[in-house]
Structures are given as C-alpha cells and as structure tokens.
Amino acid sequence: MKSLHNILAFFILGISVLFNFASVSAQKEPEPPLEVRFVRLYGDDNEPPILLMKSQDAIAQTNVGANTITLEIDIYANIPPTLFATFVHCDMNWQEDANNFINNQGLMRTSDFYWESAANSFSYYSYRGTLKFPNSQLKFRYSGNWKVKLFDYYSPEKSIAEARFFVVEPIVPVQMDFVSSMYNSEFNVINSAFNIEADIVAPAKILNSQLKNFVIYRNFRWNEPYVISESYSDKYINPLYKYTFPIMVSGFSNVEKRFSIFNVPAENVYRVLDMTNLAQYPTGSYLVQMPFSDLIRNGNYWDVDDDGAMITRYVSGSDDNYVYMEFLLDPVGIISDEDVFVSGSFNNWTPDKNWQMYFDKSTQLYRLKQWVRRARHNYLYGTGTYNADTQKFENISFDRYEGNNVYSNHSFIGLVYYRSFDLGGYDAIIGASVTNPFGTGYFR
C-alpha cells in the first residue's frame, strides 16, 4: 500500500512539473516574427501623395493634388498582422513637431487596414494591408509635411515603417519656369542642367516675413529636397548631394515674390524595368537575371519612362508578387571610387545599404541581388558614400553612369511654405505646382 502511495505521489509530481514547464515555455515563447517587405504611398491612381485641403481661403488654382491617398504595406508574418498607424505633422525639414494641438495622437491614429493574403503561399510576403485616407475616422485640418508611422500592437514602442506625404491648402497660386543651363560635373559627361524659378503673388493676409521658403522635389523622390530659403545666404548646401546650388529670393509676397535655384542637373530619362512579362520574370524563389546587363549612359536613352512612378495596373492580383532578381551594370571599365547603388520606384527612391552594388572582378560587372515587387519600375544607378551612422547614402549624384539630357523631362513639384502663427506655430503649405521643362505636368 505504501509503495502504491509513493507511485501516485511521483505521478502527481510529474504532471505538476510538466504543466509548470509548459506554462513557463508559453510565457517565454517569442512573438511571431513580422518583417516589412515594402511600403507604398500614392494619390488617387499613380499620382504623388499630395492631399488637397479645403477651406474658405483655398481658392487658388493648382495642378497637383488628390482627394485621397492610399497606403499599401506588404508584411511577412506567420499570422495576420495587428498594426496601427499614427499620423505626425512635421516641419519643412521633416522634423516631427512637438505640438500636442496638431499632433493629437488620440485623433490621428487608426487600425482600419484592409488585409489580404498573398495569392501564392510561397510568396516573399504573406499579407498586404491597404489604408485609404482621409476617411470618416481621419481628418487633416492642418497643411504641411506629414508622416504616417506604422506600429505593431505587440511592440508599440518602435515604428516598423513610415512614409511621407503632403497636405496642401492652395491659398497662393504658383508659376514655375525652366531655363536650360549647365553645371560643373566632376565627370566627363554631358553637363546639362536647369535653372528653376517660381513666382507667387499672395493675398494681403499673408505676411511676407512668414513666407520665406520654397521646396522643390522631383516626382516621387520625397527624400531629395531642393530648398530655396531666405534663411540661407546664396547657396543651397546639403550633404545629401555631391553638388551645391546657387539660390536667390527676391520681391515681396503681396506684389510678387520670386524663388530661384540654379544649375540643377537635368539627369537622364529613367531606366525602365518592366516586370509584367511573366515568362521573362517568373515567380519563384530562384534568382532571375536581367536579360542583358545595363550599360552606362551619357544622356542617351531607349525607353519612355513613367516619371518615377511605379505602375501596377497591368499586373493581375494573382501575379502581384515579388521576384528575386539580379541587377547587372557594365561600367565599361569606368570603376567608381565611391559606393554604387540602385535607386528607383522599387525602393521608393530611398536606397539603403541593401541596395548597394558590389563590383565583381571576374565579370567586370557591378551586381546586386534583391527582391522586387512585380510592376513597371523606373530607376537610376547612382554613386555616393554610405554613412553608417545615418544609414543613408551621402554626396550622391546620378551623372557618372547616367549622364544628363535636357529631354529627361522629369516633373518637379514646388511647395510654398508659410510659418503659421496658429496653435503655437507650424509650417503650413499654402501653394503647390507641378511642371517640367516642357510644361506638360507629370502625366506622360
């Protein structure tokens, strides 16, 4: 009988230890892995993410802006992700405003994503979330630079991704003009450039002392600003760029104020990567090489580009996937002493270390293997220096392997910034215009 009691006691003890171990294991089990594959932000169809804000003062004509903006995020995760988004107002230099009146996170937050599973179970991503705004939950009452920041509910202390967009209250009309010019390139290439001038006439209520800044972006390249400011002397110097640009501000806003920047490289027509051909770019986990290696250019081009946009309208839902491919650039013996990278719509024109190429001495080619979402993409090869501290390329240019061409016809978007006194002060955008050297806007 005593032996039976001992056996029973050992049995109960074993079961208890087993349950306790299972409980501890469950508590220590890490959260399911979640990786962001790609984030895309665009207006209406393939327009820039510029939202038009309505008000009694917003009566100026503008040729750019959308009524809604769409955010797409591709996630790799074992289970459906639980994300939420917050919207943060920034100054003209993209520094987040410490203004609780404007950045009220109780109001500017949502988890209203529409999630879809990837069509292919072996896909590079597993879920795609879509968010359209403004909507019944999200309203934008202040113009300016905005960020959308994405968080995982399981780790809300750090954002997993972010994207930039603009809100414009068109109070001031903007006229932008181009004049052909030249700049001093460090390389033996065609040195075509543009002088860009923006003229504005503001209503009487707009104070000239608060209207000091005008910023220009190439279409969809929101991390490459050209800033024309009364706060600078006579040049715009940014460690991002290899070159500096003379600038000038003159006049008064209520009569005519003129913002000018000189010797902006024309760059070249974008290269085109059309991945809509399934036979040429099949879906799978194996490496797909370009049909031919890219050659360096000196202003010459072969394809008509899409003004920097990513085009997905020709890709069916079942084929909207990623392709593991290799970029090949033949420098024809012109080896750069700087870092070489690929910048394009497939990385939102914001390459990081993962988009840096390496030089293969055996083939004399620059090479890069990357996953790319199936679409029709625009891209360029650039040179610069990777800064490990900022995790960005600096001293960049695109002339060494692309050259320049006055017919590149990139669209430039100009934004008028006004330092508003309201709610403690913030940078508002009160005018916007898009044009290119041929004056046809950003549509091709």
3-43: pLDDT as tens digits:
545 544 444 445 454 444 444 444 444 555 789 999 999 99
Q: What pLDDT score does 17 carry?
A: 44
CATH number at residue 311: 2.60.40
Q: Within this chain, do residues 155 and 116 fall inside the same structural domain, yes or no? A: yes
Q: Within this chain, do residues 296 and 246 fall inside the same structural domain, yes or no? A: no
Q: Within this chain, do residues 44 and 93 fall inside the same structural domain, yes or no? A: yes
| Residue 360 domain boundaries | 271-403
Q: At residue 411, does pLDDT exceed 70?
A: yes
pLDDT 10s digits, 112-163: 999 999 987 668 999 999 999 999 889 999 999 999 999 999 888 899 999 9
Q: Within this chain, do residues 331 and 389 fall inside the same structural domain, yes or no? A: yes
End-to-end CA distance of the chain: 93
Apex CA 51: angle with CA 47 and CA 54, to 5°? 135
Is position 47 within any domain? Answer: yes
Question: Distance between CA 178 and CA 431 in Å, rounded?
Answer: 18
pLDDT 10s digits, 206-257: 999 999 999 999 999 999 999 999 998 899 999 999 999 999 999 999 999 9
Return the bridge partners of 249, or none. Answer: 259
The domain boundary residue, chosen from 132, 148, 168: 168
Return the bridge partners of 274, or none. Answer: 376
Q: What pLDDT score does 122 carry?
A: 67
Q: Within this chain, do residues 237 and 202 fall inside the same structural domain, yes or no? A: yes
State the Rg of the chain over Cα.
Answer: 26
Omega of the bond leading into 134 within 30 degrees of 0 (cis)? yes
Is position 11 within any domain? Answer: no
Contacts of 254 (CB under 8 A, 6+ apart): 201, 202, 203, 204, 206, 208
Q: What pLDDT score does 74 carry?
A: 97
44-48, 304-308, 372-376, 425-429: segment of lowest average pLDDT: 44-48
- Report how many domains make up the chain: 3
Q: Which of 170, 172, 165 is nearest to 68 (CA)?
A: 165
Q: Within this chain, do residues 391 and 277 fall inside the same structural domain, yes or no? A: yes
How many Cα neighbours within 13 Å face the side chain of 205?
7
pTM of the model: 0.91
Q: Within this chain, do residues 104 and 45 fall inside the same structural domain, yes or no? A: yes
Average pLDDT over residues 339-348: 99
Q: Within this chain, do residues 368 and 289 fall inside the same structural domain, yes or no? A: yes
Q: Within this chain, do residues 277 and 181 fall inside the same structural domain, yes or no? A: no
Q: What pLDDT score does 320 carry?
A: 92
The domain boundary residue, chosen from 136, 153, 168: 168
Q: Within this chain, do residues 191 and 159 fall inside the same structural domain, yes or no? A: no
SS3 per residue for 165-222: EEEECCCCCEEEEEEEEECCCCCCCCCEEEEEEEEECCCCCCCHHHCCEEEEEECCCC
